[in-house]
A and B are shown apart, each in its own frame.
Chain A
């Protein structure tokens, strides 16, 4: 019963979650800006930075979104200009296969070791 009561309370507070859907392009813009790294203040994203470079990039991204450019094409535009370093999310290519796949391989390997351990000991 206790759980049931908590359940009701939580249902009541779900009114929080009404999201404004008219700001969809803003959300996309922010997402893109947060994924671009600032070349002037190198620890920050363009979104967080106030530098002149960052403000130019913000304008460019804004313009591209209004022109209807896709997220990926904006990234490839910037990568072509500044190199792979500019995006926080590394693209999957020959330089990054190991980066993306090695953790997953290790996960599979770990799973195999555990299964083997349990089976062997149960024989």
Chain B
């Protein structure tokens, strides 16, 4: 009797482990933070790219509109790829783009914008990457969509593509 119970328990535990490990095989083993959690926008002060004045997050996001925060750098190759899409998004009037210039030199960044166009209504300087951390970013490029209630509602890690742009357009309608 006791033996049967032991066998039964072992059997159940083994099948459980097998199923979990089998399913686990399909999971990716590198970690990427979750991309769709509602979060408040962080509170911070940052330096404006052109005016060199310190502005607060309240001031930056003061309008009753959708915002897109895009982290970019002139040295980042994928940023060039997504740049035309950002320009395209900028034509949409229900959204404002905020650029976060990540670990870059002013001159290079300026050159980049002069060459490819400036989709941002405002650019902030993130000299040491700490501003990116406030947003929960860990590299460039990353893009955040902020709704009218000042919540981050969507996050794109890596360069955005046409599909992402369509998704954003759908969400801000």
Contacts and interface: CB of A to CB of B under 8 A. Distances in A.
Q: Establish whether A and B are touching in the complex (CB under 8 Å).
A: yes
A42 B28 CA distance: 13
Nearest to A55: B129
- Which secondary structure dominates chain B's binding surface? loop
Interface in B86-145: 103, 128-130, 132-136, 138-139
B24 interface: no
B103 A52 contact: yes
Nearest to B138: A39
A59 B129 contact: yes
B30 interface: yes
Interface string B21-35: 000000000110110
Contacts of B134: 81
Interface string A55-73: 1110110010000000000
A85 interface: yes
Interface residues of A, number: 16
B130 A82 contact: no
- Secondary structure class of chain A's binding surface, majority of residues: helix
Given A39-B31, A42-B30, A42-B31, A82 B136 contact: yes
Given A40-B138, A52-B103, A82-B138, A57 B133 contact: yes
20 contacts: A39-B139, A42-B30, A52-B103, A52-B139, A53-B129, A53-B138, A53-B139, A55-B129, A56-B128, A56-B129, A56-B130, A56-B133, A59-B129, A80-B39, A81-B136, A82-B33, A82-B138, A83-B33, A85-B31, A85-B33
User: Which 8 A-B residue pairs are closest in the complex by CB-CB distance?
Assistant: A56-B129, A81-B136, A39-B138, A53-B138, A85-B31, A82-B33, A83-B33, A60-B130
Interface of B: 30-31, 33-34, 39, 103, 128-130, 132-136, 138-139
